[in-house]
Structure 1
Amino acid sequence: MRASLFILILFSALVSCNTAQKEKEANVIEDNLPTTGTAERDVATISRGYELMQQKCYICHIEKPDPSLRGQMIAPPMVNVREHYEPSYSKKDEFINAMVSFIQNPSEEKTLMPGAVKKFNLMPKLIYEETELRLIAEAIYEHDFGVTSQMRMQNMRQNLELNNGKKWDLNTNSLDRINAVTLKLNNFESGTISEYNQLGKEIFDEVKMILLDDSYTGELFDQLHNFFGSLETDMHALISAKDKVEAEKQMNTLKSKLREFYNYFE
């Protein structure tokens, strides 16, 4: 009885210490921020978040694509990470929540970067304080990394090739997915802007599952990645479109480009 009571007291003390330590770490971050002036506090918050990003994220990620480091990369550049999150989560709070949720529990279902997962594998679960993760996510949202999507999309399109003059063979599941995407686009009737955005998300989710298919490796995967990577900006633009005119334009662009799929794959 005494032994059980001792263990219970010891366990309670350990939990209390652990909780106190977390609160202390959170308070250290909070105490280092200005207590007055919203603008000054925002700048300090972003600055602190950027410092944490350099310390914790740049261990694996580089800030921007660098051809000289291509062979050394073990994770996608941060600019690419931001470009994948911002269209789906344009509001700061949504962006931060989505990024923190993924870092705390990475999964293929949550990923917005299937090509990166296939190339680098799914990132490990990181045991960082949520307070720090939120500061890092806010810094990623606010920081100007520059823009790389358009250049990357053009390069991917230029690198599309046939398989020794023949189309690449895909499995039935992937062909069913691309046929479903084509059907959704062709049968979509003008709706609300949120319905256009949802259509973009559904298309992206179907494409994501094709790219995550473990049976695609080597040159075949590279060609799939080149094709769908060249559509990435268009899918993101449909997901984040603010009005029907813009959404209709992006939808028609996707229809046109997806027709080329059957020139390379069967």
Structure 2
Amino acid sequence: MNANFLITVALAVLLTGCNKQKSTEDFGISTAPKSDTENAEALALFKTKCYACHSVTTKTHDEIIAPPMIAAKKRYMMQFDNKEDFVKAVVAYALDPKAENALMKGAIDKFKPMPKQAFEDEDLKKIASYIYDNEIETPVWFEEHFKEEHKYGMGMGNGMGKGKGAAKAK
């Protein structure tokens, strides 16, 4: 495991360990602001469970083995305008990652569905909530790639007939 990451998490826990806030629960999703400790825990889960495949350190789009998490966040935010639905959808896909359950059809075409993982529901809720509530790291190439892929509307593989592939077929 990356030593810098471990040091960062340890410092975050040490510096924020006594700063816990109580939160209310609504369908298992916190509606109160997260404490620094809860955010540090969610970030640690996010990095250890997601970044192995959804890396932010790739130098080009050609190096990736799965779409970056910022792409997933943007796509799910387009579909779900509230945190509860966003979190439920992300968790549902991560628990049962089949092509027919996917929103990111272009990613499915390129990478196939993600392999089924042994995720805990609570961990996934924390990760999805973290993604929804926070700015997440973006690969250096992503914004340019995103603009290129979405210059005609949605993405290339979303099946809505507005992507770059649809523009060529007209």
Q: TM-score range by the shorter chain?
A: 0.5 to 0.7
Aligned position for 1:226: 164
Q: Which runs of 5+ in 2 are unaligned?
A: 1-16, 24-31
Aligned partners of 2:150 and 2:163 also within 8 Å:
no
Distance 1:51 1:118, change over 3 A: same
1:125-144 aligned at under 5 Å gives the runs 125-144=116-135
Equivalent position amino acid for 1:112 in 2: L
Aligned partners of 1:63 and 1:79 also within 8 Å:
no
Structure 1 position 145, deviation (Å): 2.8
Structure ID, larger Rg: 1
Work out whether 1:63 is the aligned partner of 2:1: no
Equivalent position amino acid for 2:133 in 1: E
Percent of residue pairs bearing the same amino acid type: 24
Structure 2-normalised TM-score?
Answer: 0.66
Aligned position for 2:46: 53
TM-align CA RMSD: 3.5
Judging by fraction of residues, say which structure has more helix.
Answer: 1
How far does the alpha carbon of each residue in 1:109-167 deviate from its partner, in whole angstroms, 9 at most, with x for none?
22111111111111111111111111111111112137898743542478x9xxxxxxx
Structure 1 position 49, deviation (Å): 1.0
1:191-210 aligned at under 5 Å gives the runs 208-209=158-159
Distance 1:34 1:126, change over 3 A: farther
Aligned partners of 1:89 and 1:95 also within 8 Å:
yes
The count of aligned residue pairs is: 141
Distance 1:113 1:35, change over 3 A: same
1:97-176 aligned at under 5 Å gives the runs 97-145=88-136, 151-156=144-149
Aligned position for 1:84: 75
Equivalent position amino acid for 1:129 in 2: E
Structure 1 position 35, deviation (Å): 5.4
Q: Which runs of 5+ in 1 are unaligned?
A: 1-31, 161-203, 212-223, 229-260
Return the alpha-carbon distance in structure 2 between the equivalents of residues 134 and 56 of structure 1.
12
Return the alpha-carbon distance in structure 1 between the equivalents of residues 158 and 148 of structure 2.
20
Aligned partners of 1:100 and 1:137 also within 8 Å:
yes
Return the alpha-carbon distance in structure 2 between the equivalents of residues 51 and 117 of structure 1.
26
**Greater mean deviation of Cα atoms: 49-58 or 106-115:** 106-115
Return the alpha-carbon distance in structure 2 between the equivalents of residues 33 and 63 of structure 1.
31
Aligned position for 2:3: none
Return the alpha-carbon distance in structure 2 between the equivalents of residues 33 and 78 of structure 1.
30
